[in-house]
Structure 1
Amino acid sequence: MSQGIVISGLGAMCPRAAGRAALWDLFPREGPAPTSTRGAIPPEVERIPETLFALLPPQPRHMDCFGRILLAATTLAIEDAGLGTAAVDPLQTGIAMGSGYGCLPTNEEYLEGILERGSRYGNPVVFQNTVTNAATGAISVVHNLRGPSATLCSGWAAGLEAIHFGCQQLEEGLAERMVVGSADTLSPRLLEGLSLQGWLSPQGTAHPFSEESEGTRVSEAACTLVLEELTQARKRGARLYAEVVGTGHRGGPPSEQARTLARAVKDAVHAARIEPEQLGAVFSGANGRRDFDGWEYSGLRDALGTHASRVPVTCPKAVFGETFSAAGTLAVLLGALALETGWVPGTPGEARSSSERPLNLVSGVAQRLAPEWVLITALGGEGTALAVVLRGCRS
């Protein structure tokens, strides 16, 4: 990438944490993970409780759950970046939001109301949230974001796709900063569909890359980042978490997911102008589904060669569960914090990689991060794959 793009704000919402600091504390670091909180295995399906919203400023009452958690994560990111008090041009601040399922739960609610009461009695309050870009529009109004705007409802990799889009806007000089994020919420019909496909773990746990893998568990989540042109960020004295130095975005047939991911990773590494051996860690999108993890491993092996079995690999979904489009954005947030703190977060328990897929999995406690580059991957499952390379910010 020819132009410096940095991450200057981080915000996230998941069932057990609100904000970057609470999110980071979910992962084991220097010492053993306390059994009471850090590293504890949650239920098979997790939803964001109302108690977390009580910690945040009041939100528009008309928003659905999808819009509320996305607005909450965005508010946290904007506050973290200091944009609320900075003298920045709203016309130079854009927004790009991604989602795997968007407002699907709201559409279910609206249509079920019609089936129950009749077509003349559709709820207008619910109806206004039945298009996916309703949340993006509402967030733009709340935070006065008047630059480029996009909503990407494009599958599980939509979070990294929003980041890719945001970087394009900055590269082309269409904005000085982009607020990018992603979110997904759960509904009975969605859970039924995932269950019928056999994707959910019968034990309610996720063991990525493990011989114990039986499926994944799922969770609601939202994550938002502030991307900023480096010169502008430094001019206003922003905190610089990490620099986005390469992105890769590829598509292909579902039968070739591993090859598609490999091409995306190669593109991101090439754009970062580094060799695979210079990567200090991989934040993998593996989720415990055997087919999904197989694609992930084969793609990494193809793109990174023998370094794929040496580089520390961490799997955030072992803690979060499968959060769909939010997963990639959450992994970027963790990657930025890893570069800032010098630690690659571990995952609970003792990771035992499959003998067929030998990897250097980070488990139990964190590992020191020496090199200054990390890789984040995301697979869509339907043929899309994205990758992002981050570098630690230099003074």
Structure 2
Amino acid sequence: MTPHAPPTAQNLVISGWAVSSPYGLGRDQFTTGLHGHHRAVTPLDTTAWPVPYTEAGLIPGFDIKTVLGRKGTRSMDRVTAIAATTVGMLLQEYGTNLTSAPEDTGLVLGTSGSVQSIMDFTRDALTGQAPYLVDPARFPNTVMNCPTGHSAIRHTLKGPNVTVSGGATTGLLALNYASRLLRGGHATTLLAGAAEEFSVQRARLEHVADHGGHSPEPLGEGAALFLLENAATADAGHRTVLATVLGCRFRAFQHTGHAATVLGECIDDILTSTGHTAHDIALIAPGTPPGILGKEETAALDGLDAPRLPLRPLIGDTTAATAAFQLAATLATAADRPELTGRLALVTALDRDGTTGAALLRLGN
């Protein structure tokens, strides 16, 4: 392993990012759409997508074989393709000196897996002439860590390979897991983020899920990946520090009405442990879930006087990729506003299954 000292809470940095979103492939499309407050949720072709929704935030024109080629994509599902594409974009721009030591570079990806792949494979086993007469090449798609493993193999990443899942908090869980791996000296560089796909089966399940009395929102898809390393490694690779990860906190709540209190505890804890106060926060990227959870998040943030980034109404409910997109929006905003350099940004997330989380970043060098 490359002889760099493990990062501390003061020098664990984000030095690059890539995104595949309903605005298109790449940071430029995402940043332009975000800054223009353009709504990327568009009408659905119900012939191609027989779902109980009339609109969704799809990656425009995303076709697996067109984007990744035919080699190795015959049985690839959508979420794996989205993850592999985004990892590839990140490495293409920043990774010229990462893959020279692939055992030092790993991937921590948050995902819900592909419910479409799971249900399709199960259907084939039940409706075929025999349960074992299924396409074995499609079985890996039913395992939640398929997008992570395939992305690492495709792009020759031989360091730690981890999959995490936690609903809307998934992106922050991946960021925290990667931070722990780096601080423990298990890798020199990690790609961390989250991915989500739009599919017929996901749409049908989400439509009948309990949304706390609120109508289901349009669904979105995409991925956001971030390059994490210590400041010295970033400097040696001639990469600019975009943000310093000061820490993450997570808690669980049993009743929705307690979510504000629990999220408030996460925020208070992370501020206290890093020696900051609420007045130091200059930018907030909330999850803005619908219904009661959204009100609880607003209540938890009421005492914070900082502008907020409204992303979810623009790209839809991206579920596992939600918090990763919020982090991407934070970096995109900071790049356009130099006055935020050195200031703090807060990313928050709440999931209807009872988890909440917060991440605190110092923007810029």
Matches within 5 A, 1:1-395: 2-28=9-35, 38-39=38-39, 41-43=41-43, 44-51=55-62, 56-58=67-69, 60-61=72-73, 62-81=75-94, 83-86=95-98, 88-99=100-111, 101-118=112-129, 119-197=131-209, 199=211, 216-255=217-256, 256-287=258-289, 289-301=290-302, 305=303, 308=304, 310-342=305-337, 369=340, 372-394=343-365
SS at match of 2:42: coil
Shift of residue 223, structure 1, vs aligned partner: 1.3
Asked if structure 2 preserves the Cα contact closer than 8 Å seen for 1:280 and 1:369, the reply is yes
Asked if structure 2 preserves the Cα contact closer than 8 Å seen for 1:164 and 1:249, the reply is no
Asked if structure 2 preserves the Cα contact closer than 8 Å seen for 1:254 and 1:381, the reply is no
Asked if structure 2 preserves the Cα contact closer than 8 Å seen for 1:242 and 1:340, the reply is no
| Equivalent residue letter for 1:251 | A
Aligned length: 343
The CA distance in 2 between the partners of 1:274 and 1:93, in whole Å, is 32
| Aligned residue number for residue 204 of structure 1 | none
SS at match of 1:129: helix
Asked if structure 1 preserves the Cα contact closer than 8 Å seen for 2:41 and 2:218, the reply is no
Shift of residue 85, structure 1, vs aligned partner: 4.4
Asked if structure 2 preserves the Cα contact closer than 8 Å seen for 1:152 and 1:161, the reply is yes
The CA distance in 2 between the partners of 1:190 and 1:39, in whole Å, is 22
Pair 369,318 (structure 1): closer, same or farther in 2 beyond 3 Å: farther
Question: Normalised by the size of structure 1, how large is the TM-score?
Answer: 0.79
Shift of residue 6, structure 1, vs aligned partner: 1.3
Asked if structure 2 preserves the Cα contact closer than 8 Å seen for 1:114 and 1:121, the reply is yes
The CA distance in 2 between the partners of 1:52 and 1:331, in whole Å, is 25
Pair 291,326 (structure 1): closer, same or farther in 2 beyond 3 Å: same
Asked if structure 1 preserves the Cα contact closer than 8 Å seen for 2:197 and 2:221, the reply is yes
Query: Which string of whole-angstrom CA distances, capped at 9 and with x for unpartnered residues, describes residues 295-327 of structure 1?
Result: 2112223xxx3xx3x311122102111101111
Pair 238,370 (structure 1): closer, same or farther in 2 beyond 3 Å: closer
The CA distance in 1 between the partners of 2:359 and 2:328, in whole Å, is 12
| Equivalent residue letter for 2:147 | A
SS at match of 2:141: coil
| Aligned residue number for residue 5 of structure 2 | none
Flag structure 1 segments of 5+ consecutive residues without an equivalent.
202-212, 344-367
Asked if structure 2 preserves the Cα contact closer than 8 Å seen for 1:280 and 1:374, the reply is yes
RMSD: 2.5
Shift of residue 88, structure 1, vs aligned partner: 4.6
SS at match of 1:314: coil
The CA distance in 1 between the partners of 2:40 and 2:140, in whole Å, is 38
| Equivalent residue letter for 1:60 | G
Shift of residue 198, structure 1, vs aligned partner: 6.1
| Equivalent residue letter for 1:79 | Q
SS at match of 1:186: coil
Pair 267,177 (structure 1): closer, same or farther in 2 beyond 3 Å: farther
SS at match of 2:119: helix
Asked if structure 2 preserves the Cα contact closer than 8 Å seen for 1:268 and 1:389, the reply is yes
Shift of residue 370, structure 1, vs aligned partner: 7.3
Pair 46,275 (structure 1): closer, same or farther in 2 beyond 3 Å: same
SS at match of 2:207: helix
Aligned residues with identical type, % of pairs? 22
Shift of residue 270, structure 1, vs aligned partner: 3.0
SS at match of 1:91: helix
Pair 51,138 (structure 1): closer, same or farther in 2 beyond 3 Å: closer
Question: Normalised by the size of structure 2, how large is the TM-score?
Answer: 0.85
Query: Which string of whole-angstrom CA distances, capped at 9 and with x for unpartnered residues, describes residues 117-136 of structure 1?
Result: 24132221221211011221
Asked if structure 1 preserves the Cα contact closer than 8 Å seen for 2:98 and 2:105, the reply is no
Flag structure 2 segments of 5+ consecutive residues without an equivalent.
1-7, 44-54
The CA distance in 2 between the partners of 1:341 and 1:49, in whole Å, is 25
